[in-house]
């Protein structure tokens, strides 16, 4: 469920409401002065990824991340 942001047309108070997509309202009563507050358009908060598996380091296997050091070792051996 998204968080909707409203601004009062009289006092300018900004507040948020956590509502269902199906049941949100374009206008609400301001909790400060009681006048009409209108829905604001905002950029949103984006996605939040929690837990393991979201970073490149989470997918590395033992020894797989050493490709740079393996290349330098092979280069040293070939120069002998």
Band of pLDDT at residue 61, cut at 50, 70 and 90: low
What DSSP designation does 57 have? G
pLDDT confidence band for 7 (50 / 70 / 90): very high
In residues, how long is the chain?
80
- Angstrom distance (rounded) from CA 23 to CA 11: 25
Structure confidence by residue, pLDDT tens digits, 21-51: 888 788 999 999 999 999 988 666 677 677 7
Q: Which domains does the chain have, with CATH numbers?
A: 1-43 (2.20.28.270)
Backbone angles phi, psi at 4, to 5 degrees: -100, 140
**Sequence-separated (6 or more) residues with CB below 8 Å from residue 7:** 13, 14, 37, 38, 40
pTM (global) more than 0.75: no
């Amino acid at each position: 469920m998204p968080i909707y942001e409203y601004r009062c047309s009289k006092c300018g108070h900004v507040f948020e409401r956590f509502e269902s997509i199906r049941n949100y309202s374009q206008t609400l009563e301001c909790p400060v002065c009681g006048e009409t507050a209108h829905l604001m358009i905002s950029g949103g908060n984006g996605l939040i990824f929690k837990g393991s598996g979201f970073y490149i380091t989470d997918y590395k296997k033992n020894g797989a991340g050493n490709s740079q050091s393996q290349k330098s070792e092979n280069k040293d051996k070939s120069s002998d």
